[in-house]
Amino acid sequence: MMKLKLFEQVKKKKNKRPEICLSLSCGNIYDAASEIAEFGEFCQIIEWCADKMDGAENYTKETFIIDAEKIKKLCNKKKLIIDYKGDEVMTNKILRWSMDVADIIDIDAGNPELERLVREAKRKRVETLISYHVFDHMPSRNEIAEQYLKMEKRGGDILKIACTASNEVDTYAILEGAASYSQLRAAKPIVAIAMGEEGQVSRICAGDFGSTISWACGSIPTAPGQFNARQLAKYMDNYYKEEK
């Protein structure tokens, strides 16, 4: 199913296994608790996709904080990323409210208030993850490396690029672009993901190219080509076995 040969040939001597982030796409707290109970042991970070909650568009600060604190408690000391995808006004409200609960907030690279949100998060000692997605193609390795540089200048703590791969060459392009950026002296922590079935290998081996986190799902995928956290942990156990 996965083409690992090419990537095993370029494994670095000092590779680092990425942390696994369990992405939750749940309509209510009960389902989120069930997902964490089943898959939480296989991850180090939990992402709550708050926009997937039933009635999320009607959140007030009070009702949002109540749910966010419940999710945070379920995380049991694992880091919590809060993500919300909606209209600009509601998205930025949620991101600001999240700064009172989350360890990391996910801000889209195209958000007009990105720099302001980053500054506010820094004041509250909350990390920021700037995310950039391309769903219809794979940019070149140089375009990917340049995109990391652009996001770095905007002040985020973690820089994430996820693009769709149509073939193995596409997957290698994003990994090479990630490696080019991560070799810079002042490089920030990055995430590199080739979405789709053809890019699945990137979710396992991207640590060799500088990526620090790999996204997984529970029973409900939140992006094309995801493994569930149990599967991804198993694949990583095998791929990074020389670290044990």
* pLDDT at residue 55 is higher than 60: yes
10-14, 40-44, 190-194: which has the minimum mean pLDDT?
10-14
Q: Tell me, what CATH number does 93's domain have?
A: 3.20.20.70
Count of structural domains within the chain: 1
Q: Identify the pLDDT of residue 8.
A: 52
Asked whether residue 149 is domain-assigned, the answer is yes
Residue from 207, 229, 225 nearest 217 by CA = 229
The whole-angstrom separation of Cα 112 and Cα 88 is: 9
Q: Which residues does 147 contact at the CB level (< 8 Å), separation at least 6?
A: 109, 132, 139, 161, 177
pTM: 0.92
Please indicate, yes or no, if residue 182 is contained in any of the structural domains.
yes
Q: Which of 80, 117, 84 is nearest to 101 (CA)?
A: 80
Q: Is 180 a domain residue?
A: yes
Q: Which residues of 123-145 are buried (b: 16+ CB within 10 A; e: fewer)?
A: eeebbbbbbbebeeebbebeebb
72 is catalytic: no
State the residue range of the domain holding 60.
Answer: 16-243
Q: Is 133 labeled as catalytic in the residue annotation?
A: yes
- Say which of 160, 234, 241, 244 is annotated catalytic: 160
The rounded distance, in Å, linking the Cα atoms of 172 and 149 is: 19
68: tokens are: 């966010």
Is 169 domain-assigned?
A: yes
Residue 1 placed within a domain: no
Options 11, 70, 85, 133, the catalytic residue: 133
Task: Confirm whether 10 is domain-assigned.
Answer: no
Looking at residue 186, its pLDDT comes to 86
Within 10 A of 20 (CB to CB), how many other CB atoms are there? 22
Q: What is the pLDDT of residue 185?
A: 83
Domain contains 3: no
Classify residue 93: in a domain, yes or no: yes
